[in-house]
Structure 1
Amino acid sequence: MARELRSSRRNFLVGLGGFAAAAKLMPGSALAFEAGACPPPSAWSDLARAVKGGVLRPEDPFFADICRPNNLRYGATLPACIARCASARDVQACIAWVKRQNMPFAVRSGGHNYAGFSTTPGLLIDMSRMAGVTPVAGSDGLVTVQGGTLNLLAYKQMERMGRTITHGRCDTVGAAGFLLGGGIGFNMRKFGVGADLMRATELVTADGHLVRADAGTDASLYWACRGGGGGNFGINTAFTLETRPVDAVTVFNLTWTRDLPKVLKLLLTELASAPDDFGSKIAVTIPSRQEGCDRAPLTLSILGQLHGSDTSLKDIFKSTWELRDQDQSQIKADVPYWQGQDFLTETTFPYYYQEKSSYMRAASIDDEAIAAMFDWAGRMPATSMPVSFKFFQVGGAIDRVGRTETAYVHRGADWLFTVEANWWSPTDSTLQVTQALDWQQRFTDDVNRRTGAVGAFQNFSDPSLADWQGAYYGENLARLAEVKRAVDPGMLFTFAQAIRPAETPARRNPSSALPGGARREAEAVERLP
């Protein structure tokens, strides 16, 4: 492990990431926290003195606003205290405190963890004050992103620099959770996933040290942080990223209202050959329907961007171009890059949801698979919120990095397929929610079987995923377990889908040594056409 970084003004300015760490009650956890246990008042006073950013208890103003997660499924889990860290030293103080008090903890900036891993009944480490993006002096386009930075602030500060990275659309998502799980966005086919642009990271590890990991120092830890998922190896306090200069883009939101199965099949097959300058997300939206009422028709839309290219949108969309509903479609051609992102940006509100995902090849999507998708869409139970099944376009620069070169293993696919289940608890009954989740599972299983889709995206954490280890990490799981054993053998950083330490030294990456699910994903990807 690299030596502890010396205290400096810069170290006090680095930030901590969204759901970069989440620790919850688990059998075997290093923190054996008993239900109802509470530290003495002197312990809370000690924490308040140690955390210079301040702490909040349940009776304090704004406590409820700060602890509310984006996924309200987990909103009933309230922390005993919120530590508002303002520096890496504050993070170290929190780690020391939870170890002394045997207190579970979670770390959050945006609070968008799909499976609630940034909620806790113990100490919530709020990192939203540790935010900002600054150029690295003397470098050519490198920036330091503090770990608590939300997308919205990153957008503003990089716009001033005239630079960009692969970033998401939701402006309240934390940069750390985004990067640690890989990070997808409309630039990924041109630049790679967000983790591909990471050149270094700083993190507080289980022993309380602040370390820097890059290709030359703690290289295995650096490798693991590029796709190994938030919350597994420490609390990431800063990232060094390679940025790219911005250029003009054409942004679009196109809609089709007729012949949707035909259009979807054409889009999924024809867009797979689009240039790397093109990024898109296809959504088939199923309107909400109350019991006894007819549902409105489905719609198909595609949102995306095209960097400056010799190929036009008309050429890229080929046979679907003339089929679109021109009255409902929008195109903004050759606009400044960050103006284009204003068009694409999404702001989400808290609600109840679950998402399931897998990766598929365009060549595996036949007419029967498309028909099954629309058949399942027609069977969606009545709920108060619309849902979508979606296809995020991958490939391009993502596939120029090997599956084992970083911890992000999902290379070689054309589409990241997802199915939503959304509901609003005050109006949807327990039975309706159960039916919606069952429908989502059966929809996903059937489509995966028909298309040979494999894996799952670790940033779309799925609490119902049985073989999450193999689905998220594939053949990289064994090496990730080795890294976990090296930096956190006692499982201080633990949650329901945390990587566990390797019990014995394992050979790296042979598929025969993988758990069943990981081996199946590795073999399935090799078989994909």
Structure 2
Amino acid sequence: MLSRRAVLGAGAAALTGSAIASARPASAGPGSAGPAEAGSAPARPRARPATGRRGTPNWTALAASLDGTVDLPGTAGYDSARQLADPRFDHIRPPAVARCAHAADVAEVIRFARREHVPVVTRGGGHSYVGASTATAGVVLDLRSLAGIRYDWGSQTASIGGGARLIDVYNRLGAAGRAIPSGSCGSVGISGITLGGGIGMASAKYGLTCDSVTAAEVVTADGSRRTVDADRDRDLFWALRGGGGSQFGVVTGWRMRTHRSTSVGSFVLTYPWRDAARVVAGWQARLAAAPDETWSTCQLASDARGRLSVRISGVVLEGDPAAEAAEIARAAGIDPADAKLERRPHLDVVHDRAGCADREGCAERSIQLAGSEIFRTVLPGPAIAALLAAVERRARERKPGIAKFKRLTGAPSRVAPEATAFPWRDAHTMLQWLVLPADSGSSSESDGYAWIESGHRAMSRWSAGRYVNYLEPSPASLPRYYGANFSRLRWIRATVDPQALFRSPYAL
């Protein structure tokens, strides 16, 4: 591991072509709360990286210019620095991982990459299903140290570092009795989920995660630091809310509105497979009348022994879970085989849904394959039958596979379609395909994606598109994730990153 202190202490003044330059001063915005808050720092003199011989990037010079570190193959911290959440990508060995201490470091890495013609790949939580936060070429820009979180009591907004984990955001805001609407995976990065939209248990009441954003601190491909909001860099601000990650710039800080969090009623209803069609139809019908305070999923699953299951899981914000569970059962026309109803503090529910063993830790690294469908309307009987048949085929093979509906109605649908880049404001539900190959020794990555692809074919008549946070390894299908916003997003990317510095097969 190369750090600025170590390099300078070893005589960085002898580096070929090095010079002293001043970093750009931090902007006043969500990323400017200081290193202990949202990851920024005062500007200071820094050594400008020099170009290495024969086009080889001078990583030593880069390290000398940063307050963070640069991890290279063979150094002590390299293996931990390059790992993502999914072990499928452990074989990928990037040439360097720059662990940035603050936003000024991010800008320095980007300016270095431009001079050296080195691609940049951004890593936050490292949860991309296609490994988009690592690469075999270029520099991985690691944001995990930009993890400060500050709540402002006066404005009831939060300043959140671009590398913060979602569970830490929940915990810090929860201590103040506040929350943001977001997902359930605790170790996911706040930037990744926000850039793609952000669907979770408070969505119907408070909108998507990106709907809570009031401003963002961004370092763009020219190395400049910008504060973007409704009045400044409006196209970029629009793209950062639902347009997907790692292609418009590096978000070093967010400012978000928060909402009150107290108790949450939760319910889990299980049914035998023979009732699956009625349950899916009833759950969809209930969404038409379900209040915004409720949110639920309807899951159809096969396990590694070929057993089939149906489960509806949901929450009622500050309400009675029994009443909503009864309404769902009434809509389905059949009582569940089992029902679990609870009312607990918001953070306790969040930790359970996040897979956190306690208030600090979260689930360990795991292999997960995902895909998605967007449905604009209630699925008719033939569509439900096609979906059930896809899950049943998986069960006959004795392999794990999940098809999980998630509610998109409520607050997300009341945001104007042109207000953000999230393209599915008129959608009824989203379906997530999920395969956990580790659950079955006979289930491979190729086999799992083959099943997901068969699901796409089965549902093609009814599917309007896909959710960008559930990317699949098929870049040719990118337009399906962006719907009517595809062309505008491509134009914005070409404008803010004309040289495609932020490199990925999945970038627009």
What is the alpha-carbon distance in structure 2 between the residues aligned to residue 383 and residue 359 of structure 1?
A: 27
Question: Structure 2 counterpart of 1:39, which letter?
Answer: T
Q: Give the C-alpha shift of residue 235 in structure 1.
A: 0.4
CA distance in 2, matches of 1:491, 1:156: 36
Which of 120, 129, 140 is residue 155 of structure 2 equivalent to? 140
Q: CA deviation at 1:174?
A: 0.0
8 Å Cα contact 2:161-2:252 kept in structure 1: yes
Rate the CA distance shift 1:383–1:482 in 2: closer, same or farther, 3 A. same
1:301 and 2:311 matched = yes
Equivalent of residue 275 in structure 1, options 291, 310, 313: 291
* C-alpha deviation, 1:340, in angstroms: 2.4
1:115 maps to which residue? 130
Matched, 1:395 2:409: yes
Whether 1:317 aligns to 2:328 is yes
Indicate yes or no: 2:502 matched with 1:496.
Answer: no
CA contact (8 A) 2:166 2:186 kept: yes
Distance 1:62 1:409, change over 3 A: same
Deviation string for 1:68-88 (max 9, x for gaps)? 222333321111222111100
2:6 corresponding residue in structure 1: none
Within the candidate set 449, 459, 473, 2:469 is matched to 459
| Counterpart residue identity of residue 483, structure 2 | G
Equivalent residue, structure 2, for 1:219: 234
Q: Is the 8 A contact 1:361 1:413 kept in 2?
A: yes
Structure 2 counterpart of 1:441, from 444, 453, 478:
453
SS in structure 2 opposite 1:419?
A: strand
Matched, 1:186 2:201: yes
Paired with 1:64 and 1:85, the residues of 2 have a C-alpha distance of 17
The residue type equivalent to 1:414 in the other structure is: H
Amino acid at match of 2:503: T
Give distance in 1, aligned partners of 2:113 and 2:176: 39
SS in 1 for 2:33: helix
Do the aligned partners of residues 279 and 381 (structure 1) sit closer, same or farther apart at CA in structure 2, a change above 3 Å counting?
Answer: closer
- Amino acid paired to 1:399: S
- Aligned letter for 1:147? G
Candidates 256, 260, 282, aligned match of 2:276 = 260
Deviation at residue 414 of structure 1 after TM alignment: 1.6
Structure 2 letter corresponding to 1:337: H
Is 1:124 matched with 2:140? yes
Task: Tell whether 2:179 aligns with 1:164.
Answer: yes
Letter in 2 for 1:391: F
Give the root-mean-square deviation of aligned CA atoms. Answer: 2.7
Alignment of 1:468-479 (within 5 A): 468-469=478-479, 471-479=480-488
The alignment partner of 1:323 has SS state of: coil
Structure 1 residue identity aligned to 2:464: V
Shift of 1:257: 2.5
Q: Counterpart of 1:376? A: 390
Query: Structure 2: which amino acid aligns with 1:316?
Result: E
SS in 2 for 1:343: helix
Deviation per CA, 1:324-372: give whole Å up to 9, x if none. Answer: 122xx42212x22222223322244434443221211453x22222222
Per-residue deviation, 1:272: 3.8
- Matched residue of 2:191: which SS? helix
In the other structure, the counterpart of 2:430 is 416
SS for the counterpart of 1:380 is helix
Instruction: Classify the secondary structure of the residue corresponding to 1:254.
Output: strand
Partners of 1:310 and 1:383 in 2: CA distance = 40
Contact map agreement 1:146 1:239 (CA 8 A) in 2: yes
Tell me, yes or no, if the aligned pair for 1:381 and 1:436 is still in contact at 8 Å.
Answer: no
Cα distance change, pair 426–65 in 1 and its aligned pair in 2 (3 A): farther
Q: Given the superposition, is the C-alpha separation of residues 462 and 481 from structure 1 closer, same or farther in structure 2, using an over 3 Å criterion?
A: same
Deviations 1:85-122 (A, max 9, x none): 11001101111222232223311121101111101123
What is the DSSP-based 3-state SS (H/G/I as helix, E as strand, rest coil) of the residue aligned with 2:468? Answer: coil
Q: Is residue 372–residue 447 contact of structure 1 (8 Å, CA) maintained in 2? A: yes
Taking the aligned partners of 1:434 and 1:381, their CA distance within structure 2 comes to: 17
Post-superposition offset of 1:481: 2.5
- Contact 2:368 2:435 (C-alpha < 8 Å) held by counterparts: yes
User: Does the Cα contact within 8 Å between 1:271 and 1:316 map onto a contact in 2?
Assistant: no
Cα distance change, pair 222–5 in 1 and its aligned pair in 2 (3 A):
farther
Alignment-mate amino acid for residue 56 of structure 2: P
Partner of residue 10 from structure 1, selected from 19, 24, 33? 33
- Hey, what's the Cα distance between the residues in 2 that align with 1:377 and 1:75? 30
**Alpha-carbon shift at residue 144 of structure 1 (Å):** 0.4
* Residues 167 and 354, structure 2, Cα contact 8 Å, conserved in 1: no
Partner residue, 1:65: 80
For normalisation by structure 2, the TM-score amounts to 0.84
Q: Are 1:385 and 1:424, in contact at CA under 8 Å, matched by a contact in 2? A: no
Q: Does residue 221 of structure 2 align to residue 206 of structure 1?
A: yes
Look up the match of 1:82. Answer: 97
Distance 1:190 1:442, change over 3 A: same
Alignment length (residue pairs): 460
Matched, 1:343 2:357: no
SS of 1:303's equivalent in the other structure is strand
Structure 1 unaligned regions, length at least 5? 18-36, 290-294, 500-529
SS in 2 for 1:61: coil
The 8 Å contact of residues 133 and 143 in structure 1, kept in 2 or not, is answered as yes
Quick one: distance in 1 between partners of 2:398 and 2:308?
A: 16
Tell me the CA shift for residue 264 of structure 1. Answer: 2.2
Tell me if the contact between 1:206 and 1:492 (Cα under 8 Å) persists in the aligned partners. yes
Post-superposition Cα deviations, 1:444-466, rounded to whole Å, max 9, x if no partner, equal 221231xx221111111122263
Distance 2:440 2:377 in 1: 40
Normalising by structure 1, we get a TM-score of 0.81
Shift of 1:231: 1.0
Question: For residue 30 of structure 1, what is the aligned residue in structure 2?
Answer: none
- Contact (CA 8 Å) 1:381, 1:439: kept in 2 or not? no
Cα–Cα, structure 1 residues 439 and 220, in superposed 2: closer, same or farther, change >3 Å? same
Determine helix, strand or coil for the equivalent of 1:103.
Answer: coil
Query: How much has 1:309 moved relative to structure 2?
Result: 4.3
Which among 81, 94, 98 is matched to residue 109 of structure 2?
Answer: 94
Query: Post-superposition shift, 1:184?
Result: 0.8
Cα deviation, residue 316, structure 1? 2.7
